[in-house]
Amino acid sequence: MAQGDLPKGGTIEVRGLHAGYGDVDAVRGIDLRLESGRLTALIGPNGAGKSTTLRCVTGLLRPRSGEVLLNGERIDRLSASRIAARGVCQVPEGRRLFARQSLVDNLLVGAWVQRRNRRQMNEDVERMFERFPLLAARRNEVAASLSGGEAQMLAIAMALMARPSVLILDEPSLGLAPLLVVQILDIVKGLVTEGVTVLLVEQMVHKALAVADWAYVLGHGKVVLEGRADELAAHPTVREVYLGSA
């Protein structure tokens, strides 16, 4: 869809979140707030609880305790499909596409949560190709033929087909060359300027903090730092642990 067609960004609140697997809590009392129309980065080492937090927000994991709210209404008791239908959509790590299906068919799959009619879905497909012209020339090719950067664009386009108010991206730079990472993050930043609320989980901390408005740092299942992204980028602990400088 073209600029101006995306919904107004939603606000996500995570309050006192405890969640995990088996007898182990991977997150322990996390509080987050994703402001409407703002790009928030969630950073931290492997095992810090980032993926568990995302799974709770999107409904793939039921919290042991705590709340997840969308625009003031609890969603942590809803199924993943109902949460997606309310506008919270995720671009998963690894660009999980339907490799043997065409780009068009992949995009149509992305529209299923809104249950729109076929004419509306076809119109949105064309808007996606306007938004991502690199994909337009390959619309009838299978997704397996795409490069890493093109595949990431398609994954983002699939999520946008659901017309999200909150977009969650899990490691969008994974496996991409540095120049492509810059291009993908520029696309993400552009979505924020259109009003979409974005949560970005990213191992390339310096890239994430460069595009984010606000950031949370997780460690051992808890929020250990939070603040404006530019201020965290200058924080001594962040610089030493994540940016390789004191």
Can you give the residue range of the structural domain that contains 79? 12-241
| pLDDT value for 17 | 97
Joined tokens for residue 40: 């928030």
Split into its structural domains, the chain has a count of: 1
C-alpha–C-alpha distance, residues 56 and 224, integer Å: 19
Q: Is 135 within the bounds of a domain?
A: yes
CA 163 to chain centre: 13
Q: Is 7 within the bounds of a domain?
A: no
| pLDDT value for 79 | 95
Average pLDDT estimate for 108-128: 83
pLDDT at 112 over 80: no
- Is the distance from CB of 236 to CB of 64 less than 8 angstroms? no
Q: What backbone torsions phi and psi does residue 149 show, to the nearest 5 degrees? A: -65, -40
Average pLDDT estimate for 18-27: 93
Instruction: Please name the residue that has the structure tokens 């609140």.
Output: 13
Q: Is 190 within the bounds of a domain?
A: yes
Average pLDDT estimate for 7-14: 89
Question: What is the CB neighbour count within 10 angstroms for residue 83?
Answer: 23
Between strands 88-91 and 166-170, the pairing is parallel
Q: Is 58 within the bounds of a domain?
A: yes
pLDDT at 182 over 50: yes
| pLDDT value for 243 | 64
- Which of 103, 231, 213 minimizes the C-alpha distance to 161? 103
Q: Is 221 within the bounds of a domain?
A: yes
Average pLDDT estimate for 164-179: 89
| pLDDT value for 72 | 96
Q: Is 246 within the bounds of a domain?
A: no
C-alpha–C-alpha distance, residues 230 and 211, integer Å: 9
CATH number at residue 113: 3.40.50.300
pLDDT at 59 over 50: yes
| pLDDT value for 246 | 39
pLDDT at 117 over 80: no
pLDDT at 5 over 80: no
- pTM for the model stands at 0.90
Q: Is 5 within the bounds of a domain?
A: no
% the chain with pLDDT above 70: 93
Q: What is the mean pLDDT of the chain?
A: 90
| pLDDT value for 244 | 57
Q: Is 2 within the bounds of a domain?
A: no
